[in-house]
């Protein structure tokens, strides 16, 4: 039987050592995903920093999903929805990653996939932990489900618009100058 307990003031689903081991890896991967995803979002797109942060982000989201699946399997009745959110986040990140590998920088599919994965990952965090967080504990449960998307959707839309403008500007510049390596005479 899995029993809930408090560790460092936070309620955890079980005190079983296997559960706690997976939870520790899950939390570390989640923090890594949040930090590397934010880093990838704020640095210049296509730069080595963006690529490096994006790779760390994708790896971390993958580990978050795997550990979420294991943790949810141990407490399916209580945590099945976390498995579903993890699967959605991982799928979105995979689509974003694959899209970028096949298309050009500033690609909408890449931005939407990675941004949606980040938003869904934060939704899962707040749905699971929001009721125990200061200030958040005063919000209705529906807010944990909706606030990350209400904030994330406009940010993603803005990133798409900026990427499209930058791409149009690059294409216009190439039209004026000709293709790279062309003789300007």
Whether 136 maps to a domain, the answer reads yes
Q: pLDDT tens digits, residue range 6-55?
A: 554 556 666 788 989 999 999 999 999 999 999 999 998 889 999 999 99
Share of the chain above pLDDT 70, in %: 86
- In degrees and rounded to multiples of 5, residue 34 shows phi and psi of -65, -45
Range of the domain at 79: 5-176
Whether 181 maps to a domain, the answer reads no
Whether 75 maps to a domain, the answer reads yes
Whether 48 maps to a domain, the answer reads yes
The whole-number average pLDDT for the span 45-67 is: 95
Say what the pLDDT of residue 91 is. 98
Distance, in Å, from the CA atom of 87 to the CA atom of 99, rounded to the nearest integer, reads 18
- In degrees and rounded to multiples of 5, residue 15 shows phi and psi of -110, 10
Closest by Cα among 88, 70, 83, 64 to 18: 70
Whether 182 maps to a domain, the answer reads no
Whether 23 maps to a domain, the answer reads yes
Distance, in Å, from the CA atom of 60 to the CA atom of 154, rounded to the nearest integer, reads 24
**pTM of the complete model:** 0.83
- In the block, residue with structure tokens 């974003």: 96
Total structural domains within the chain: 1
Distance, in Å, from the CA atom of 58 to the CA atom of 76, rounded to the nearest integer, reads 25
Whether 123 maps to a domain, the answer reads yes
The whole-number average pLDDT for the span 58-84 is: 95
Whether 141 maps to a domain, the answer reads yes
Q: How far is CA 174 from CA 31, 170, 181, in A?
A: 41, 6, 11
Q: pLDDT tens digits, residue range 116-175?
A: 999 999 999 999 988 888 888 899 999 999 999 999 999 999 999 988 888 888 778 778
- In the block, residue with structure tokens 């209580």: 78
The 3-state DSSP class for residue 135 equals: coil
């Amino acid at each position: 039987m899995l029993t809930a307990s408090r560790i460092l003031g936070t309620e955890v689903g079980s005190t079983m050592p296997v559960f706690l081991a997976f939870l520790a890896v899950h939390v570390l991967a989640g923090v890594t995903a949040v930090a590397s995803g934010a880093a990838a979002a704020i640095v210049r797109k296509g730069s080595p920093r963006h690529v490096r942060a994006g790779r760390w982000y994708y790896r971390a989201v993958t580990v978050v999903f795997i550990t979420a699946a294991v943790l949810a399997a141990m407490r399916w009745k209580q945590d099945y929805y976390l498995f579903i959110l993890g699967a959605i986040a991982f799928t979105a990140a995979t689509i974003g990653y694959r899209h970028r590998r096949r298309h050009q920088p500033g690609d909408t599919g890449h931005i939407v996939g990675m941004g949606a994965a980040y938003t869904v990952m934060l939704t899962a965090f707040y749905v699971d932990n929001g009721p125990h967080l200061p200030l958040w504990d005063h919000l209705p449960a529906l807010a944990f489900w909706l606030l990350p998307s209400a904030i994330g959707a406009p940010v993603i839309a803005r990133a798409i618009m900026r990427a499209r403008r930058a791409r149009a500007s690059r294409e216009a510049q190439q039209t004026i100058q000709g293709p790279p390596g062309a003789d300007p005479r």
